């Protein structure tokens, strides 16, 4: 709770910076502020408490995921410094929007009432729409913002409709009350319908097949930093919220009571397989790196959905998977931001010969791609291992085999980028060594490897 | 004192090599590889004195994964193979100029680290991690420092990477499945499992895919010749000398004892696949015009025979296979090194463009001859001991296996001696062939000394490996 208030306060504070004419100091001060918030958040860890008539419920789950969100936001804010160099006047707006987005995300994993859940999702979405369209004079960015807004508001509408149906069935927005009543044998049919609508809306935010069509265009059109944010922070928030929604409303036992669990699991298995396969196969054909990572993100969404099949035990695994994925994403995007600065596109040709001109960043990008492909000793490997272990335990061997085949396919396009860096001749020199980009890249890949060496640190948080 | 020391030395060595910079990298790498060799010999003495040099530490709690290294005779033999070949391989590259030498030598040491880990690991998942880690350095070594057309090289290397990764991922599923059954990845717990025949068959096949691609066994060999040819000689030596032994070793250590029923039931098929590799490799080798490719196919033939030996499930078969693994490791490194020496002077790998070396350099010619003879398993070389034992074990299963497997010696003698004739003998070549340098001589003599010494006196290695092979056979035959 205090975390949420502190984050919102920090966001308002950021807006004031412009009035006080302190835009130069905004990045370091915001990072310090976020570190403070992180410490505050840690201090709340372990306690389970409800605030404001159950509007907000702070649990181990919510604090752990909030910490991850805050860490990711710190990285993204640090990257802003270099990215908005050319428009120094706007930086306070952009940083403030990111902080508000974080507030939305924290609200989404700690809601205790469906109204709060919807508020969170809207705060997050509106911040994302604005960021997607934030390059005002760039046609592609405008298109991305518009597309995302149209599709996103539609998804919000579906979620809202789902919430209404659930209210109709239960007579309450309160999560504790709904989860208690959902176990009763006699339930109106619109409770499962409402849940399905909410899950569909969240699958849209996660960009799982068949609700993924917005992702590649929006990722490609948005400014690179926004893409980084969408593919790491926003995706992690969405999947964590979906998980919390399914587990907090006792969806699984409730469906079991009504003999619908088999159907639900089949649907999840199919969506998961489709997301992995379609995401990977489409990614193979891309030449634009941002687009490629968008499709790779779709396939990772498929992997993360596997946690829904063993919901009672997989919270730790989800936290680990999302951390590994997001840290690798941050590391790779910081290299992309460096390489594609002042370029009009993010084509793979920009990366030619990076292994020669900048071995450090090339190594970091290689490491993060290897992590996403699931090669040990990077944490991506353990994430997949834990996930496969859970899923086989839950009895879905076929899904795991599909996932493994997809891991092999994904090597194809991750290595396309690695090959471009090491086996092609460099085509241009880049000047300047932006300290913050280097710092973010190094720290995130080091954290990624550290998670790989000591996975228990994260997994055991929620078990 | 335990075996993790070797791993630490090699890993620290890899970092140190990278840090000291391009000029000193090769020397620092050599120093650390020699240090690892020295330590291994010390550890061997501790082991022979009956001391426990294994190690087990908890690592990850959920799922339960331990950092467990098991040093029995078999693992120590493979460890010694790795740490003995690594300095030779590094030393053989002295005198070559590599761009970004620090990364090159660091990757070699890192690969030695991962391969050593694979041989020592006693926890399924730890083993898998090392197994995969060994793939990354060789990928970059072949990609960045390889030879030939860049586009073709990229294709060959990526194919190799995806093949091996694909194989090993199915092994990972098998391990996870075993974990669900046993509640632990530790090899001893996996040995104790009682799996049904169907389960064993699937697990056996999942392992087989990983190992058949790595070894390689027909029909999973298609990556091999291209990668051997395109990789720099150091990479080829690492691949053929040590890395493919990872696959053969894993068959003995993991596949056979965990799924013995399947191994017994389908024994003939897998032996036949191995023998098919022998015949196919030999016939294709006869037709090769490129020296490195010829050696690659001859290597395919030899490992086919070793694989057939392991699948016989007899003590002779296993012992012969392990002896031949070690012998083949040394001889193939020597042969590829000799090919490199010729390439440095003639700048070609085409056999038809060579010849007349004997007149110009009799010393090199005799060393090359010994390697060739060892490769065709002439009596009194180490390879004879291994190959003969394997053929003997095959004859116990079915005499025809031994007859067909024996073609490796007949056909091998044919193409190797023909190659020797074309490369070394004949009229004086217009190109000059300067005599071997002292550095090159040291590497070759070291390899030849090992081959001849153990050819006459294989007892130390036999004594070292036999007890652990017997233990494994007991596990295989327990039900």
Q: Which residues of B touch A381 (CB under 8 A)?
A: 129, 132
Q: Give the closest residue to A42 by CA, choosing from A62, A19, A12.
A: A62
Contact A359 B165 (CB under 8 A): no
Q: Confirm whether B418 is domain-assigned.
A: yes
The single residue listed with the structure tokens 């859940």 is A117
How many Cβ atoms are within 10 Å of B26's Cβ, its own excluded? 22
User: Nearest residue of A to residue B99 by CA position?
Assistant: A356
Residue contact B176–A386, C-beta within 8 A: no
pLDDT in tens, B389-398: 999 998 888 8
Give the per-residue pLDDT at B129. Answer: 92
* Confidence band of B478 (pLDDT split at 50, 70, 90): confident
CA distance A98 to A409: 34
The answer to whether B62 contacts A392, with C-beta atoms less than 8 Å apart, is no
Q: Give dist(CA A44, CA A58) in Å, integer.
A: 8
> Tens digits of per-residue pLDDT, A100-151?
999 999 999 999 999 999 999 999 999 999 999 988 888 889 999 999 999 9
Evaluate whether residue B83 is within a structural domain.
no
Banded pLDDT at A86 (limits 50, 70, 90): confident
Mean per-residue pLDDT, B434-459: 88
| Euclidean distance between CA atoms B130 and B115, whole angstroms | 7
Task: Tell me the C-alpha distance between B142 and A13, whole Å.
Answer: 54
Residue A456: list chain B partners with CB under 8 A. Answer: 59-62
pLDDT at B412: 87
Give the mean pLDDT of A375-398: 90
Within 10 angstroms of residue B466's Cβ, the number of other Cβ atoms is: 16
Q: State residue B60 phi and psi, 5-degree precision.
A: -115, 135
Q: Give domain status of residue B106, yes or no.
A: no
Q: Tell me the C-alpha distance between B150 and B446, whole Å.
A: 34
Q: Which two tokens stand for residue B313?
A: 């499930």
The confidence score (pLDDT) of residue A72 equals: 95
Residue A197 to residue B275: CA distance in whole angstroms: 60
Residue bearing tokens 């090289």: B153
**In 3-state terms, what secondary structure has residue A113?**
strand
Bridge partners, residue B67, by sequence: B57
A32 in contact with B, Cβ within 8 Å:
no
How far from A386 is each of A300, A380, A393, A456, B61, CA to CA, in Å? Answer: 14, 10, 11, 11, 12
Contacts A463 to B, Cβ<8 Å:
62
Determine, for residues A455 and B60 on separate chains, whether the beta-carbon distance falls below 8 Å: yes
Band of the pLDDT at B428, cuts 50, 70, 90? low
Half-sphere exposure of A47 (CA within 13 A, CB side): 11
Residue A232, classified by CB atoms within 10 Å of its CB into exposed (0-12), middle (13-18) or buried (19+), is: buried
Q: Which domain holds residue B333?
A: 298-479
B38, pLDDT greater than 80: yes
- Contact between chains at A422 and B180 (C-beta distance less than 8 A): no
Residue of A nearest to B131 (CA): A376
Query: Poorest-confidence range of A29-38, A176-185, A208-217, B114-123?
Result: A176-185
pLDDT attached to residue A431: 72
* A412–B173 C-beta distance less than 8 A: no
B21 located within any domain: no
In this prediction, residues B413-419 reach a mean pLDDT of 89
- Closest approach of chain A CAs to the CA of B180, in angstroms? 7
Q: How confident is the model at residue B479 (pLDDT cuts 50, 70, 90)?
A: low
Look at residue B285 and tell me whether its pLDDT is greater than 70.
yes
B190: Cβ–Cβ under 8 A, 6 or more apart, which residues?
B124, B178, B182, B184, B258
Tens of pLDDT along B325-343? 999 999 999 999 988 888 8
**Crossing angle of the two packed helices A261-284 and A289-305, in degrees rounded to 10:** 160
pLDDT interval class at B9 (50, 70, 90): very high
Question: Residue A243 pLDDT more than 90?
Answer: yes
Question: Do the domain assignments include residue B19?
Answer: no
Contact A389 B125 (CB under 8 A): no
Q: Which residues between 341 and 380 in chain A have a beta carbon less than 8 angstroms from any beta carbon of chain B?
A: 355, 359, 370, 375-377
Percent residues over pLDDT 70 in chain B: 99
Report residue A199 CA to chain centroid gap: 16
Q: Cβ contact (<8 Å) for B180 and A455?
A: no
Instruction: Name the DSSP letter for residue B435.
Output: P
Query: How many CB pairs (< 8 A) connect A and B?
Result: 79
Q: Is the pLDDT of residue A430 over 80?
A: no
**Which of B125, B154, B166 is closest, CB to CB, to A423?**
B154
Q: Is the peptide bond before B115 cis (omega within 30 degrees of 0)?
A: no
At residue B24 the predicted structure's pLDDT band, cuts being 50, 70 and 90, is confident
Torsion angles phi and psi, residue B234, rounded to 5? -60, -45
Instruction: Please tell me the number of Cα atoms within 13 Å of A310 on its side-chain side.
Output: 20
Is B162 in contact with A376 (Cβ distance < 8 A)? no
pLDDT attached to residue B429:
65
Q: Between β-strands A49-51 and B65-69, what pairing exists: parallel, antiparallel or unpaired?
A: unpaired
Cα–Cα distance, B17 to B332 (Å, whole number): 26
Tell me which of A376-390, B274-288, B374-388, B421-435 is least confident: B421-435
Nearest to A252, CA basis, from A213, A208, A310, A166: A310
Q: Distance from B390 to chain A by nearest Cα, in Å?
A: 35
Inter-residue contact B231 to B319 (CB < 8 Å): no
B165 touching A, CB under 8 A?
yes
In Å, how far is A393's CA from the nearest CA of chain B? Answer: 7
Residue B401 in domain? yes
Instruction: Tell me if B180 and A376 make a contact (CB, 8 A cut-off).
Output: no
CB of A313 within 8 A of CB of A391? Answer: no
Of A390, A414, A413, A415, the closest CA to residue A400 belongs to A390
Q: Diameter of chain A by CA atoms?
A: 69
Angstrom distance (rounded) from CA B115 to CA B108 = 11
Give the 3-state secondary structure of residue B377.
Answer: coil
Give strand pairing partners of B217: none
Q: Does B378 touch chain A (CB under 8 A)?
A: no
Q: What CA–CA distances, in Å, run from B84 to B35, B294, B336?
A: 11, 25, 16
Cis check: omega of the bond before B219, within 30 degrees of 0: yes
B159 touches chain A (CB under 8 A): no
How confident is the model over B313-322, as pLDDT tens digits? 889 889 999 9
Mean of pLDDT values over A150-156: 92
* pLDDT over threshold 70, residue B464: yes
Q: How many domains does chain B have?
A: 1
**In this complex, which of B62, B133, B169 lies closest to A460 when CB atoms are compared?**
B62
Query: Which chain A residues are within 8 Å of B126, Cβ to Cβ?
Result: none
Question: A441 to each of A305, A323, A345, how far by Cα in Å?
Answer: 27, 15, 21
Mean of per-residue pLDDT scores for chain B: 88
Chosen from B19, B65, B129 to mutate, greatest number of chain A CBs within 10 A: B129
E strands of A132-236, at which residues? Answer: none
Lookup result for tokens 């966001």: A11
- Mean pLDDT within A340-356: 84
Q: Which of B173, B185, B198, B213 to mutate to test the interface with A (most CBs of A within 10 A)?
A: B173
Interface test with B, best of A415, A453, A454 (most B CBs within 10 A): A415
Least confident of A412-416, B12-16, B51-55: B51-55
Map residue A207 onto helix, strand or coil.
Answer: coil
What value of ipTM does the predicted structure carry? 0.88
**Is the pLDDT score of B62 beyond 80?**
no
| Beta carbons within 10 angstroms of residue A83's beta carbon | 21
Residue A318 burial by CB count (10 A; 0-12/13-18/19+): exposed, middle or buried? buried
Whole-number Å distance between alpha carbons of B17 and B115: 18
What residue has token string 């699937």?
A: B202
Mean pLDDT value across chain A: 89
Q: Which residues contact B398 (CB under 8 A, 6 or more apart)?
A: B268
What φ, ψ does residue A256 adopt, rounded to 5°?
-65, -40
pLDDT score of A280: 93
- For the cut 80, the answer to whether the pLDDT of residue A22 exceeds it is no
Task: Please indicate, yes or no, if residue B245 is contained in any of the structural domains.
Answer: no
Q: Do A389 and B132 touch (CB under 8 A)?
A: no
B462 has pLDDT over 70:
yes
A453: pLDDT strictly greater than 80: yes
R_g over Cα of chain A? 21
CB contact under 8 A, B161 and A415: yes
If you measure CA to CA, which chain A residue comes closest to B61?
A: A456
A39 C-beta neighbours (distance < 10 Å), count: 11
Q: Alpha-carbon distance B420 to B351, whole Å?
A: 9
The token pair at A447 is 């954290």
Q: How far apart are CA A294 and CA A286, in angstroms?
A: 10
Let me know if B47 is exposed, middle or buried by CB neighbors in 10 A (0-12, 13-18, 19+).
buried
Domain membership flag for residue B374:
yes
pLDDT tens string B209-250:
999 998 888 888 888 888 888 888 899 999 988 998 999 999
Q: Which positions ≥6 away from B146 have C-beta within 8 Å?
A: B153, B157, B230, B231, B232, B235
Residue A88 has pLDDT above 70, yes or no: no
């Amino acid at each position: 709770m205090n975390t949420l208030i502190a984050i919102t306060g920090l966001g308002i504070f950021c807006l004031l910076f412009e009035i006080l004419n302190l835009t130069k100091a905004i990045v370091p001060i915001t990072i310090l502020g976020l570190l403070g918030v992180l410490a505050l958040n840690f201090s709340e860890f372990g306690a389970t408490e409800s605030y404001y008539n159950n509007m907000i419920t702070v649990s181990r789950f919510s604090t752990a995921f909030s910490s991850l969100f805050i860490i990711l936001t710190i990285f993204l804010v640090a990257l802003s410094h270099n990215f908005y160099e050319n428009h120094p006047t706007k930086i306070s707006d952009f940083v403030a929007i990111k902080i508000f987005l974080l507030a939305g995300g924290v609200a989404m994993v700690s809601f205790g009432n469906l109204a709060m859940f919807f508020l969170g999702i809207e705060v997050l979405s509106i911040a994302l729409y604005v960021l997607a369209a934030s390059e005002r004079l760039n046609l592609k960015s405008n298109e991305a913002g518009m597309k995302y807004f149209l599709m996103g508001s539609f998804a919000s509408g579906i979620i809202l409709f789902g919430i209404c149906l659930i209210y109709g069935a239960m007579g309450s927005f309160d999560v504790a009350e709904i989860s208690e009543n959902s176990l009763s044998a006699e339930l109106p049919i619109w409770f499962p319908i409402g849940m399905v609508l909410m899950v569909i809306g969240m699958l849209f935010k996660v960009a799982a097949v068949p609700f993924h069509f917005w992702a590649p265009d929006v990722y490609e059109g948005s400014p690179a930093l926004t893409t980084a944010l969408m593919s790491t922070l926003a995706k992690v928030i969405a999947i964590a919220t979906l998980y919390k929604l399914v587990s907090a409303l006792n969806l699984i036992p409730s469906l079991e009571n009504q003999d619908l669990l088999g159907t639900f699991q089949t649907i999840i298995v199919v969506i998961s397989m489709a997301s992995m396969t379609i995401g990977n196969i489409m990614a193979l054909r891309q030449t634009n790196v941002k687009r490629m990572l968008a499709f790779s993100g779709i396939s990772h969404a498929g992997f993360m959905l596997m946690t829904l099949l063993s919901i009672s035990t997989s919270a730790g695994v989800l936290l680990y998977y999302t951390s590994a994925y997001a840290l690798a994403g941050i590391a790779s995007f910081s290299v992309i931001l460096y390489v594609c600065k002042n370029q009009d596109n993010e084509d793979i040709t920009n990366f030619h010969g990076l292994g020669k001109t900048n071995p450090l960043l090339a190594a970091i990008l290689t490491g993060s791609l290897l992590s996403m492909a699931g090669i040990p000793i990077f944490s991506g490997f353990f994430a997949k291992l834990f996930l496969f272990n859970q899923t086989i335990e839950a009895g879905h061997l076929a899904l795991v085999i599909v996932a493994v085949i997809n891991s092999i396919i994904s090597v194809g396009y991750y290595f396309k980028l690695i090959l471009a860096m090491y086996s092609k001749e460099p085509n241009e020199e880049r000047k300047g060594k932006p300290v913050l980009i280097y710092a973010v890249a190094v720290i995130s890949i080091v954290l990624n490897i550290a998670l790989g060496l000591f996975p228990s640190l994260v997994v055991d948080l929620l078990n | 004192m335990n075996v993790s020391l070797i791993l630490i030395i090699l890993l620290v060595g890899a970092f140190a090599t990278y840090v000291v910079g391009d000029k000193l990298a090769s020397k620092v790498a050599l120093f650390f590889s020699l240090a690892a060799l020295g330590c291994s010999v010390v550890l061997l003495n501790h082991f022979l004195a009956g001391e426990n040099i294994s190690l087990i530490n908890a690592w990850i709690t959920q799922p339960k994964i331990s950092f467990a290294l098991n040093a029995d005779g078999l693992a120590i033999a493979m460890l010694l193979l790795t740490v003995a070949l690594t300095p030779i391989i590094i030393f053989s590259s002295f005198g070559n100029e590599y761009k970004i030498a620090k990364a090159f030598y660091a990757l070699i040491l890192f690969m030695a680290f991962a391969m050593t880990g694979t041989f020592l690991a006693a926890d399924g998942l730890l083993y898998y991690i090392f197994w995969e880690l060994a793939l990354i350095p060789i990928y970059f070594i072949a990609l960045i420092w390889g030879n030939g057309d860049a586009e073709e090289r990229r294709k060959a290397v990526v194919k190799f990477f995806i093949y091996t990764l694909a194989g090993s991922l199915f092994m990972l599923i098998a391990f996870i499945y075993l974990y669900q059954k046993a509640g632990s990845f530790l090899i001893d717990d996996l040995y104790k499992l009682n799996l049904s025949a169907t389960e064993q068959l699937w697990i056996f096949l999942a392992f087989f895919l990983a190992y058949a691609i790595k070894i390689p066994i027909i029909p999973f060999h298609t990556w091999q010749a291209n990668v051997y040819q395109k990789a720099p000689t150091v990479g080829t030596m690492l691949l053929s000398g040590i890395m493919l032994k990872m696959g053969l070793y894993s068959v003995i250590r993991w596949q056979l004892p965990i799924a013995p029923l399947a191994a017994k039931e389908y024994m003939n098929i897998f032996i036949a696949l191995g023998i098919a590799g022998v015949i196919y490799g030999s016939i294709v080798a006869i037709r090769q015009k490129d020296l490195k490719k010829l050696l690659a196919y001859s290597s395919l033939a030899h490992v086919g025979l070793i694989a057939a030996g392991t699948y016989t499930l007899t003590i002779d078969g296993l012992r012969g296979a392990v002896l031949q693994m070690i012998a083949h490791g040394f001889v193939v490194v020597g042969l590829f090194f000799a090919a490199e020496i010729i390439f440095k002077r003639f700048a070609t790998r085409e056999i038809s463009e060579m010849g007349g070396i004997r007149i110009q350099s009799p010393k090199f010619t005799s060393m090359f001859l010994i390697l060739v003879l060892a490769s065709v398993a002439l009596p009194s070389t180490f390879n004879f001991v291994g190959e003969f034992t394997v053929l003997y074990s095959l004859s116990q299963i079915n005499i025809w296996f031994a007859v067909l497997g024996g073609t490796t010696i007949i056909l091998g003698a044919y193409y190797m001696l023909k190659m020797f004739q074309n490369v070394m003998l004949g009229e004086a070549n217009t190109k000059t062939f300067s005599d071997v340098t002292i550095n090159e001589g040291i590497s070759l003599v070291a390899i030849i000394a090992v081959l001849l010494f153990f050819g006459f006196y294989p007892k130390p290695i036999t004594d070292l490996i036999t007890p652990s092979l017997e233990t494994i056979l007991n596990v295989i035959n327990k039900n």
